[in-house]
Amino acid sequence: MRAALGMLRMRFIYSLQYRAAAWAGVMTQVFWGFMETLLYKAFYASNAAAFPMTLPQVTCYIWLRQAFFAMFILWSVDGDILDMIINGNVGYEIIRPTDLYWMWFTRNLGSRLSKVALRCGPVFLVAFLLPAPFGLSLPPNWVTFFAFLLSFVMAVLLIIGLCMWIYILSFYTIASRGVQSIVGLTAEFLSGSLLPIPFMPEGFQKVAYLLPFAQTQAVPYLMYSGYYSGREMVMNLGVQLFWLIVVIGSGHAVMKRALLKVTVQGG
């Protein structure tokens, strides 16, 4: 546990070095968020009746997504780890007397947290200052806020769990680019990052909610604005927890298996 915390701190500080990049990122995120709100506003003006959620709910969704953008990109994997697996340096890592799964897990958590820590503050500030239909509003009540927090924490752990699967799979195969982009696009689309899930056709939505990808972005953001209430809220938290346990549990087990079989050739 202490080793893991140390790892977390190290990666966090390491990534904090890139402050200029963070400012550039903030500006980019604000601009994209702004344009996206304008886009949905245009759709709202054209046909308000066809809107599956309220306009403030959509803008909340957009701004939360922009604020936490760096946290939930599935493919922002740690290049060093992939290199280690390919060039065999992973051997050194295996020797260490800690559980490698959790070490890499916290390592990724740290670098993602630091990226977001620098960026989300200013984005939130801008989003809160924007006038009502454009900006970010507070969640309707305390219950939704806590549900959001809980769901957000689970989403963070889940995305890293999925990210770990990318490392694990690269022990077995170096996935060809074609397969990678099919999986990548499916994951991205189903996480609701190109289009909020309520805007998708019915059948699509059902599939999206059952898969783990939506749980990493769409669900916490929808939770925040009070899109879910009562039973639906609990149900969604339950599905999230289910996937969290499945993804991390299976990842941990399979990685142990993979590490037993690793053969590092000479060197």
Residues near other proteins (CB under 8 A) are: 20-21, 24-25, 27-28, 31-32, 35, 38-39, 41-43, 45-47, 50, 52, 176-178, 180-182, 184-185, 188-189, 194-195, 199-201, 204
Q: How far is the CB of 204 from other proteins (least distance, A)?
A: 8
Per-residue tokens: 74: 């599935």
For residues 241 and 233, what is the distance between their CA atoms, to the nearest angstrom? 12
Smaller CB distance to other proteins: residue 124 or 204? 204
Q: How far is the CB of 32 from other proteins (least distance, A)?
A: 7
Smaller CB distance to other proteins: residue 42 or 95? 42
User: Which 3 state secondary structure label does DSSP give 28?
Assistant: helix
Angle made by CA atoms 140, 143, 146, in degrees to the nearest 5: 105
Q: How far is the CB of 105 from other proteins (least distance, A)?
A: 27
Smaller CB distance to other proteins: residue 90 or 208? 208
Q: How far is the CB of 264 from other proteins (least distance, A)?
A: 27
Q: How far is the CB of 185 from other proteins (least distance, A)?
A: 5
Instruction: Give 36-103 as a 3 state SS string.
Output: HHHHHHHHHHHCHHHCCCCHHHHHHHHHHHHHCHHHCCCCCCCHHHHHHHHHCCHHHHHHCCCCHHHH
DSSP conformational letter for 205: H
Smaller CB distance to other proteins: residue 87 or 180? 180
Per-residue tokens: 135: 């900006």
Residue 29: HSE in the Cβ half-sphere, 13 Å Cα cutoff: 28
Smaller CB distance to other proteins: residue 117 or 259? 117
Rounded to 10 degrees, the C-alpha dihedral 116/120/123/127 comes to 130
Smaller CB distance to other proteins: residue 195 or 235? 195
Q: How far is the CB of 219 from other proteins (least distance, A)?
A: 19
User: Which 3 state secondary structure label does DSSP give 265?
Assistant: coil
